[in-house]
C-alpha cells in the first residue's frame, strides 16, 4: 500500500506564506515582485517541477527555491529585474515582498521633494503618465458638461 504524502498548506518563502495547494509556478506569484515569467525562471533555476504542488515538495526543493529567490538578481540579466539601476547604489536589484511597496513610496517622496513634474502631479492627485485629463480622471462633484443659459 502506498503511503500518502502529507501536504503543507503554508510554505514560507521570502517572508510570504504561499498556498501549498497550488502548483509551484502559480504559488510563487503570491510573492510581491514575482510574476508568471520570473516564477517560471525561478522554478527552472531551482530544478523543480513547476506543475507539482508546492505543499508536496520535499524540504530540500523548497530550500533550493528559497536560495534562488534570495540570489535572483545576481543570476538573471539586467532586463529581468524590477529595478535595473538603483537610484542610490546604481546596482541592479530585484525587490520582493514589502521592499517593493516601501521603495515605491520612497521614490515618490523623492520626486515630491525635488519638485519634479511627476512629483507635483503625485502631490496634487492628478494623472502622472501623460494621460488626458479633460474628460477622464475627474474626482469630486464635477459631473458632465453644463449648457449655456439662453
> What pTM value is reported for the model?
0.80
pLDDT tens per residue, range 41-100 = 999 999 999 999 999 999 999 999 999 999 999 999 999 999 999 988 999 999 999 999
**Range from 11-15, 71-75, 141-145 carrying the lowest mean pLDDT:** 141-145
Q: Report the alpha-carbon distance of residue 68 to residue 8 in Å, rounded.
A: 21
- Domains parsed from the chain with CATH numbers: 10-77 (1.10.8.50), 80-124 (no CATH)
pLDDT value of residue 149: 78
The vertex-65 CA angle with 59 and 67, nearest 5°, equals: 105
Amino acid at each position: 500500500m502506498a503511503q500518502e504524502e502529507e501536504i503543507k498548506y503554508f510554505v514560507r518563502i521570502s517572508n510570504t506564506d504561499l498556498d501549498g495547494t497550488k502548483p509551484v509556478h502559480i504559488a510563487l506569484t503570491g510573492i510581491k515582485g514575482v510574476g508568471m515569467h520570473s516564477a517560471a525562471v525561478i522554478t527552472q533555476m531551482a530544478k523543480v517541477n513547476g506543475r507539482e504542488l508546492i505543499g508536496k515538495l520535499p524540504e530540500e526543493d523548497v530550500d533550493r527555491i528559497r536560495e534562488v529567490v534570495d540570489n535572483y538578481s545576481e543570476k538573471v540579466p539586467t532586463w529581468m529585474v524590477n529595478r535595473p539601476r538603483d537610484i542610490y547604489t546604481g546596482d541592479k536589484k530585484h525587490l520582493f515582498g514589502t521592499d517593493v511597496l516601501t521603495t515605491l513610496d520612497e521614490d515618490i517622496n523623492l520626486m515630491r521633494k525635488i519638485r519634479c513634474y511627476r512629483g507635483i502631479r503625485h502631490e496634487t492627485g492628478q494623472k502622472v503618465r501623460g494621460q488626458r485629463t479633460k474628460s477622464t480622471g475627474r474626482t469630486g462633484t464635477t459631473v458632465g458638461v453644463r449648457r449655456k443659459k439662453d
